[in-house]
Amino acid sequence: MSQSFDADLTACADLVRRADPERFLAAMAAPVAARAVLFPVYAFNIEVARAPWVTQEPMIAEMRLQWWADALEEIAAGGLMRRHEVVTPLAHVLDASGAALLTDLVEARRWDITREPFEDAAAFTHYIETTSGNLLQAAALALGPAAPEVLRDAGYALGLANWFRAIPALEAAGRKPLVDGRPEAVRALAKDGLARLRRARAARRQVSRAAGAALLPLWLAGPVLRQALRDPRAVAEGRLGVAPARAQLSLLARSLTGRW
C-alpha cells in the first residue's frame, strides 16, 4: 500500500539513513511508492535489532522486545494501536501475515539478550532465516506477490553475508557468533549461502517486479560471500567488503534492470 511521506515516514527514512546506510541506498534505488513500505519495515528492524544491545540488563532488553511484540499484535488485530513514529506507518503496510513474520523475528532476537552461543548449526540457520529472512519476506510481500521459498533463500544469503561482516564487532562484544569458526567451516557456510542465492535468482520469475524492490539489498551479498569462500580468514579479520564506487554501480544496474 502506498502512502505520502508524512512526518512519520520521514522519521523512518532518517533512522534508516543513519543506522542502516546500505538498506537506505537500496530503498532509495527502489520505486518511490515502494519506499513508503520499505522505510517503516527497515526502521522497525533497526529498533528491534538494537534493543538487546542498548542495556546490560536482560530484563530491560526483554521489555523492549516485548513492547515491539505487543505492537505487532495490535497491528495484526487491526484495531486500536499505539501511536509511534515507526509503528504507525508500519501498520499501514503490514497485514496479519506480515505482522506474524516480524513477530517471529522479534522472538529470534531474544537470542541476542542471552549472549549464549548457538546450540548447533540448525539453531544458527534458524536465527539467520528468522531475522534476515523474515524481514525480507515481510517487506517483499507487503509490496507484491512472491514465492516465500525464494524469499527465504534470498533472505538467508543476505543475512549470512551481513553476519559475516558483523563478526569482528560481535566477538569484540564477547559473543560467539559462529558454531564453528574454523576456516573450513566458514568456507562451507559461504558455499551454502551462495548456493541459496543462486537458487533464489534462478527462480526470479516467481517474485513480482513490485516485490523485487525489497530484494535490492542483495546487491552486496554475492561479492561478500564469494570473498568469504575464497578467503575465510577475512571474516574474523574484518576484511570483507566492496569498493564503494563499484558497489554503487552494481546497485544502480540492478535497480534499472530489476535483476536483483
**pLDDT tens-place string over residues 144-184:** 999 999 999 999 999 999 999 999 999 999 899 999 999 99
Close Cβ partners of 179 (under 8 Å, ≥ 6 residues apart): 117, 118, 120, 121, 123, 124, 185
Give the residue extent of every domain in the chain. 1-115, 116-260
Q: How far apart are CA 223 and CA 225, in angstroms?
A: 6
Please check whether residue 120 is in contact with residue 71, taking contact to mean a CB–CB distance below 8 angstroms.
Answer: no
Q: What does the block give as the cell for 173?
A: 562484544
Nearest in space to 39 (alpha carbons), one of 68, 60, 18: 18
Residue of 16 and 256 predicted with greater confidence: 16
CB neighbour class for 109 (10 Å; exposed up to 12, middle 13-18, buried from 19): buried
Cβ contacts of 231 within 8 Å, gap of 6 or more: 239
- DSSP string across 107-119: HHTHHHHH-PPPS
Whole-prediction pTM value?
0.94
Mean pLDDT of 133-154: 98
Q: What is the mean pLDDT of the chain?
A: 95
Q: Name the percent of the chain lying above pLDDT 90.
A: 86
Backbone dihedral angles phi then psi of residue 207, each to the nearest 5 degrees? -120, 120
| pLDDT tens, residue by residue, 70-96 | 999 999 998 777 899 999 999 999 999
Cβ-based neighbours of 80, under 8 Å, separated by 6 or more = 74
pLDDT at 4: 66
Question: CA nearest 218: which of 193, 239, 191?
Answer: 193
**For the chain, what percentages of helix, strand and coil (3-state, to nearest 5) are there?**
75, 0, 20
pLDDT higher than 70, residue 3: no
Residue-level pLDDT at 250:
87
Residue-wise pLDDT tens digits, 227-258: 999 999 999 999 998 888 788 888 988 888 88
